[in-house]
Structures are given as C-alpha cells and as structure tokens.
Amino acid sequence: MIRNRFVTLSPEVEDAKREWKPIVAMESTIISHGMPYPQNVETALNCERICRENGAVPATCAVIKGQICVGLTEEQIDYLGREGQKVTKASRRDLPMLIAKGMDGATTVAATMIAAAAAGIRVFATGGIGGVHRGAETTMDISADLEELAETPVCVVCAGAKSILDLNLTMEYLETKGVPVIGYGTDELPAFYTRKSGIKVPWRSDDPREIADAIAASREIGYPGGMLVVNPIPEAYSMDADVINKAIDDAIEEAKKQGIKGKETTPFLLAKIKDITGGSSLAANIQLVYNNVRLAARIAANL
C-alpha cells in the first residue's frame, strides 16, 4: 500500500489494491468543468458503472480539502458537480498549493496521471488529452498533459487530442518526447468528435491484451514515461467533420475576440462548440468517454 500523507485511497480502491484487482483511474475536470449539473454527475457515475461492468474498479481522482483522493464517494462526485467551475481546475502546477491551502481541485489529465502513479494505478481513461494549441508557435500554449505523458508511467486511453488543437504539432511533440502512441482498431489519430484526422499513428492494436502486454513490457524495462492509446469515437456518435470543424473555427475566433487564454481556453471552446452545434457535441463527448472507459477496463483486466 502507498504511504503518503497527501494521498488518500477510497475503501474500494484500497481493497482492490490489496486484492490485486484491476483499477482504472478517471479524471474529475469533466465533472466540474465539462458539463452542467446534474448531467456531469450522471456521466461520472455512469463511467464508474461501465468500468465495473467491464471488470475493473473505478478510481475517480480529485483534490478534496487538500487531499489527493484516488477513488471518490457518490457524495464527493455530487459535491464536485454542484460546485462546478468554482472548483479549481487542477493541473500539475496547482497540486502543491491546493494541498498547502487545503483546497478542492478537479484533476486534469496531467494531475490525474500524478494521482494514479502515486497510487500504483497504471491505466487511466479520459475523453481527450490536451495538446499543442493552434498558434502555439507564437503563444507557446502547450498542455502539461504532453509533458506528463513523457514523464509519468501511466497508460492514458482517450479519443485522441481535442480537435480544437493543432493535431499535427501535438503528434510531433509526442514523437519528440518518445511517447508510444497506439491506435486501437485504427491506423490514424482520432480527432475527438470524429474518427479520422488523416494523421498516421506509429502503432495499431486490435487487442486489449496486446496493449496490456506493451504496458507490462514498458514497466519491466524501466521505461520512464507513459503511453497513449487512442480509441475512435463509436461510429454511431461520430460527428460530421465539416460541421464540427466550422464550429471549432467559429469558437476559436470568438475566444480571440474575448481575449480567452491559458487554461480557460479549452472549457470556453468546448462550451461554445456545444452551443453552436445545438448540444450534439456534448452528446458525442459523453459517448466517447464511455467508450474509452470500456476499453481501459479491458486493458486493466488483462494486466
């Protein structure tokens, strides 16, 4: 068991660790910043249910009153959902001060990877990772998620990088950092809301057992960083590329006009895209998260 006064495991996760059951970490930003209440809580609880149905124990992560909690109660999930954007969106840079001040934080991909690694959890399911933002050659706006993937030994299962980003530069950054990228049932990077981007991924696997073997191999040889598994949104929920790209372009233009920058950019753009698409982008977002949880649980069950 871990010995860290700042990391608390839920009883369910602690039992799973003791009994060597498969565990899947999940983030909490989607609860507080991803969608409105009560839909955010319903989605989080459905993710936990789907994880259990596919053979793994869910470990939703957050910072609650200065403690990094790995595994949340239904009451804690509801609390994050009700508080919404009043809860700090917590990335790597925020964890020390949130702990020191005894504050709450909803963990991003980077912070959830840190929490998962501290608890010895090797698989993490999310919607999409952050990446290199459009125009980063002048703004240097690059998500901490990418650096975390290079440093922290956790496999992240996602639907690719969010399509509001520069996907080509995001893949170049991952390649530079030596992060293994595996397409599950695909040869190209999914574009979050859509299944295709035209960007090739270096590896393809059609078998969760094979991905689990790759994770085990990376750990045995002392590989320093993580791994990225990109899982396309189910065909039935994939959006029309022209429609979503037009919505993204319009949302980015609006963000520029309003001077939205930094960590406020992604939630602003996702909310704007939801409005432009009449809510269909949010429905797609929810379904791709469920799809990633299913795959992550199957990978974890094979570790």
Residue 161 pairs in a beta bridge with 129
Q: Are 194 and 164 in contact (CB under 8 A)?
A: no
Instruction: Tell me if residue 27 is catalytic.
Output: yes
Q: How many other β-carbons are positioned within 10 Å of the β-carbon of residue 236?
A: 7
CA distance 49 to 57: 9
Positive or negative, the CA dihedral 108, 5, 299, 178 is: positive
Q: Phi first, then psi: give them for residue 63, nearest 5 degrees.
A: -105, 120
Give the residue from 138, 143, 121, 114 showing the smallest Cα distance to 263: 143
Catalytic annotation, pick one of 12, 27, 148, 151: 27
Supply 78's token pair. 């509801």
Instruction: Give the DSSP H/E element, type plus range, for residue 63.
Output: strand 57-64
Instruction: Tell me if residue 162 is catalytic.
Output: yes
Entry field: residues in the chain = 303
CA distance 43 to 231: 19
Catalytic annotation, pick one of 89, 162, 272, 274: 162
Give the residue from 246, 243, 242, 238 showing the smallest Cα distance to 284: 238
Supply 290's token pair. 């469920």
DSSP reduced 3-state for 125: strand
CA distance 155 to 190: 17
Q: Are 42 and 82 in contact (CB under 8 A)?
A: no
Three-class SS string for 90-103?
ECHHHHHHHHHHCC
Supply 299's token pair. 């990978």
Which residue numbers are catalytic?
27, 162
